[in-house]
A and B are shown apart, each in its own frame.
Chain A
């Protein structure tokens, strides 16, 4: 897959263990002209991103929106994993929950979530995503231009590998 940045639609990865809510969030996002991939667990989200293998990921995800309460890996666990990953920490993450628990909300925001939406999520909430995506796109384009320059010579390629964090 070519790593060209898609200048058209942003790609959002939605994570929710309930089918109804997945269907809803998918519709809300598509209505707002986002490309959507919906998965039913944090584990599947990480698999989709390619976090579980050491190859360079070949899908571009511009934002992750995740439910908080999920069996196994919670949305908070997923948030932490994303933020601790050198490859993915810059992807904005938004958490959602049907429970209004201030300590939960604060913890997510403090640990890197851009927003916390109370369910049921509204179109007005989804509208809040765009600024986070636009901000990153500008940043990503700058980074991509830099890394494309580095592919030119083997010496430069070696320098790139040295920069990659060994986990």
Chain B
């Protein structure tokens, strides 16, 4: 695939992520903060999001396996996940976290379990999509091109 095609593919891919509600304007803001002084800013922040999310999702899974479920602690963890997903513009994950918090507050185990599954699912999707997008960007850079805004 030549450079122009790659660039077009990237633009289309990014646009679809916004249209399908995977990303929101916050991601655009992240990109606008990236510059020559910080050329890897977006990748760095998103990587932090991946690390954070995986840790929190693990902890939430463990929490729901306990005999006595600590809903307060779970709520704090979902709050963290909501915060970091909102900070990078991971829209669907953020929205699910809001629902998840409501179940924590209501101390509804079934609801929490279902939500956790949904969050894991959505997280998996956005992770794959962002990684694909970064790969495309890298291909463009390797081909000597620049990333279209």
Give chain A's interface residues, CB within 8 Å of chain B.
18-21, 23-24, 27-28, 31, 69, 98-99, 119-120, 122-123
Contacts and interface: CB of A to CB of B under 8 A. Distances in A.
B145 interface: no
Nearest to A67: B83
B48 interface: yes
Contact of A120 (B32, B79, B86): B86
A147 B41 CA distance: 43
B49 interface: yes
A18 B83 contact: yes
A28 B86 CA distance: 16
Nearest to B33: A27
Contacts, number: 49
Interface in B73-132: 79-80, 82-84, 86-89
16 contacts: A18-B52, A18-B80, A18-B83, A18-B84, A18-B87, A20-B83, A20-B87, A20-B88, A21-B83, A23-B48, A24-B45, A27-B38, A98-B86, A119-B83, A123-B29, A123-B32
Contact of A20 (B29, B33, B48, B79): B48
A98 B86 CA distance: 8
B29 A21 contact: no
Contacts of B83: 18, 20-21, 98, 119
A119 B88 CA distance: 11
